[in-house]
Amino acid sequence: MPFRMTEMVGCEFPLFAFSHCRDVVAAVSRAGGFGVVGAVSSTPEQLEQELSWIDDHVEGKPYGVDVLIPEVQAVKMDITADQIIAQIPEKYRDFTRAILREAGISEEGANLHGGSQRPNTSLGQELLEVSFNHPVRLIANALGTAPPEMIEAGKEHGIPVAALVGAKEHAMKQIKAGVDIIVAQGGEGGGHCGEVSTVVLIPEVLDAIAEAGADIPVLAAGGIMDGRQMAGMMAMGADGAWCGSVWLATSEAETTEVFREKMIAATSRDTVRSKHRTGKYSRQLRSEWHRKWEEAEIPALPMPLMMLLSEPTLRAIDQASLNGNRAAQELATYFVGQGVGMVREQRGAGQVVQDFKEDFAASYERMMGLLE
């Protein structure tokens, strides 16, 4: 099939997999899709290791890097990690400790002084430099408008730059900024998201691009879990699909066995769009974690403070959940979209790509039938 994305980034099938797990990225690209590794809060050294591993396992297939930088404000403010962490009110540390204590989880695991998630205050440019030393075919910026230095670096290396948007107005900014690909993610998607649903956002973004006289491909994101939905989005005019949640239930995923089982058990009504993880609205699997913050009526801290507090805590909760701690299993949560209701089983990431291809082809055949 002559897909536009094939020429642009070299993949056989325009199914993009955003994942923090290098195994998923390599498996998806090997299967004909396009893996994009999330370098969130990686150090340049960690990213160098990740990309080298991918190079060794991707069999020459194309892949990309997402240099999502949630601490971007901190970077702009140019303050140190300790200065940021010092801004977390004691009240919030105490409430977090209480959640752990109540669940019988040791505080040791959860370094409430920032832990491993220290914001790297000179990250963006270094991560880009590391990325360009590898055969990446796409650079993505998942939060906010792509910075000029990223656009320039992409042009300089001949690598397309993609940016995520959750509203037509944001797409218009990205078009002005000069991005090469727009990932339009509906509010039903996992992670940071807006309110506009995928089925409305895609045509809105396509129209905004046309009205700007631009020629920028759009990848549809938000709730897409199979090839039927991908075919639907492409029938609307998208050039491919960008998925995150579907990979979290794969056997290669970085998620815990406990969370993958929760995904299989969840319905599409079991997610919540909450600020109580990163400080910005992001869709997650609803759990006791959200109920406790809501019951206590404690508003979320701004990003990155809320994240610096919650991430190490939730990692300790994940660890305890794996050790059979029931309370921890009820608290366990992660970023996931409404599509979680469509997860039936754990599959290999390569198998997911294969299933997408088959469902996609079947959808096309059904449509052909309508034209007979």
CB of 207 vs a copy of itself, minimal distance in Å: 8
Q: How far apart are CA 22 and CA 35, in angstroms?
A: 9
Stretch binding a copy of itself (CB under 8 A), from 81-89, 98-106, 133-141, 334-342: 334-342
Name the segment binding a copy of itself (CB under 8 A); options: 31-39, 65-73, 289-297, 362-370: 362-370
Residues 18, 46 contacting (CB under 8 angstroms):
no
197 binds a copy of itself (CB under 8 A): yes
- From residue 37 to residue 56, the character string flagging contacts with a copy of itself as x (rule: CB under 8 A) and all else as - is --------------------
Residue 324: left (phi > 0), alpha (psi -120 to 50), or beta?
left
End-to-end CA distance of the chain: give it in Å, rounded.
Answer: 21
Q: Is 203 in the site for a copy of itself (CB under 8 A)?
A: yes
Residue ranges with strand state E in 105-173? 138-141, 161-165
Q: Judged by CB under 8 A, which of 161, 201, 328, 349 binds a copy of itself?
A: 201
Q: Does residue 7 touch a copy of itself according to CB under 8 A?
A: no
Pick the binder of a copy of itself from 23, 118, 338, 356 (CB under 8 A).
338
Instruction: DSSP letter for 278, please.
Output: T
- Footprint of a copy of itself on residues 212-231 (CB under 8 A)? 222-226, 228-229, 231
Task: Out of 199, 214, 298, 322, name the contact with a copy of itself by CB under 8 A.
Answer: 199
Between residues 92 and 360, which has the closer beta carbon with respect to a copy of itself?
360
DSSP letter assigned to residue 342: G
| Footprint on residues 266-285 left by a copy of itself (CB under 8 A) | 267-269
Using CB under 8 A as the binding rule, the residues of this chain from 55 to 84 that contact a copy of itself are none
Q: Which is nearer to a copy of itself, 204 or 261 (CB)?
A: 204
Q: By rule CB under 8 A, what string of x and - marks binding of each residue 236-265 to a copy of itself? A: xx----------------------------
Q: How many angstroms from the chain centroid is the CA of residue 353?
A: 17
Contact window for a copy of itself (CB under 8 A) among 19-27, 80-88, 103-111, 204-212: 204-212
Rg, the chain, Cα only: 20
Q: Cα separation of 219 and 55, whole Å?
A: 25
User: 35: which 2 tokens?
Assistant: 């893996």
10 Å Cβ neighbour count for 66? 25
Paired sense of beta strands 271-274 and 15-19, if any: unpaired
Decide whether 185 or 278 has the Cβ nearer to a copy of itself: 185
How far apart, in Å, are the Cα atoms of 57 and each of 25, 29, 52, 61, 348? 10, 10, 9, 9, 15
Instruction: Provide the minimum distance between the beta carbon of 120 and a copy of itself in the complex, in angstroms, as a whole number.
Output: 33
- Residue 105 or 220: the one with the smaller Cβ distance to a copy of itself is 220
Nearer to a copy of itself, 3 or 95 (CB): 3
The number of residues that bind a copy of itself (CB under 8 A) is 52
DSSP codes of every residue in 294-306: HHTT-PPPPTTHH
Residue 370 is a binding residue for a copy of itself (CB under 8 A): yes
Please say whether the beta carbons of 75 and 141 come within 8 A.
no
Query: If binding is defined by CB under 8 A, does position 169 make contact with a copy of itself?
Result: yes
Q: Does the footprint of a copy of itself cover residue 168 (CB under 8 A)? A: yes
Q: Which residues pair with 63 in a beta bridge?
A: 35
Helix ranges (H only) for 212-337 are 227-236, 245-248, 257-265, 288-295, 305-322, 326-331
Among 38, 186, 191, 217, binds a copy of itself (CB under 8 A): 186
Residue 187 engages a copy of itself in binding (rule: CB under 8 A): yes
CB of 44 to a copy of itself, least distance (A): 37
Output the CA–CA distances (angstroms, integers) from residue 17 to 29, 158, 274, 307, 350, in the order listed: 9, 21, 23, 24, 11
Distance CA 191, CA 166 (A): 11
* 291 touches a copy of itself by CB under 8 A: no
Binding site for a copy of itself (CB under 8 A): 1-3, 167-169, 186-188, 194-201, 203-204, 206-207, 222-226, 228-229, 231-237, 267-269, 337-339, 341-342, 363-364, 366-372
